[in-house]
Amino acid sequence: MTTYKEQQENKMSYVLLKDCEVLGTFGNLKKVCDFMEDEDFPSYWTLIRKKNFPITINNYSIHKVKHH
């Protein structure tokens, strides 16, 4: 069993960038896909299979960073 403090230390966020400009930070990958719903952007089910970050698609990139 992990403590609350350990959970907070291990928490990760997703940062969405377009041409090196931050569009937003999200708590999970699904929210990134929901935010980009109207754009030509891959689905959540496509992105969840990617293991290596950053994920780069067209001019967009998704970085996984430690939550502070």
User: What is the overall mean pLDDT for the chain?
Assistant: 92
Tell me the pTM. Answer: 0.84
CB within 8 Å of 19: residues ≥ 6 apart? 59
Give the tens place of pLDDT for each residue, 32-64.
999 999 888 999 999 999 989 999 998 999 999
Residue 20 has pLDDT above 80, yes or no: yes
DSSP assignment letter at 56: E
